[in-house]
Amino acid sequence: MCLAVPGRILSVSGDDPITRVGRVDFGGIVKEINLAFVPDARVDDHVLVHVGFAIAVINRIEAARVFAHLREIDELTHSPPED
């Protein structure tokens, strides 16, 4: 299974469309992400990221929805066993 995680672009650097990168915030964890596949992405946009590449720009509501699902998954994996 492949998983793309949403993040918010904090800054963008580079003029070359192939090597352009952004600092992307994933709920408090900030990583440098390649933006070659999303040439129109700008600061404050939300992007879906897979293996270090932003693969799509998404709206804020969709990003929040994905984060909510990820929190639910985390809660399920950390729930105490039932008796």
Domain ranges of the chain: 5-77
Q: Which CATH number fits domain 5-77: 3.40.720.10, 1.10.645.10, 2.30.30.140, 3.40.50.150?
A: 2.30.30.140
User: What values do phi and psi take at 71, rounded to 5?
Assistant: -65, -40
> If you search the block for the tokens 């990168």, which residue do you land on?
21
Q: Please choose, from the candidates 14, 52, 13, the residue with its C-alpha nearest in 3D space to the C-alpha of residue 34.
A: 52
Tens of pLDDT along the chain (83 residues)? 568 899 999 999 998 989 999 999 998 899 999 999 999 999 999 999 999 999 999 999 998 888 888 888 877 676 655 55
pLDDT on residue 81:
55
Chain centroid to Cα 65, Å, comes to 12
pLDDT on residue 66:
84
CB atoms within 10 A of CB 44: 9
pLDDT on residue 1:
58
pLDDT on residue 73:
81
Strands 21-26 and 53-58 turn out to be unpaired
Radius of gyration of the chain (CA): 15
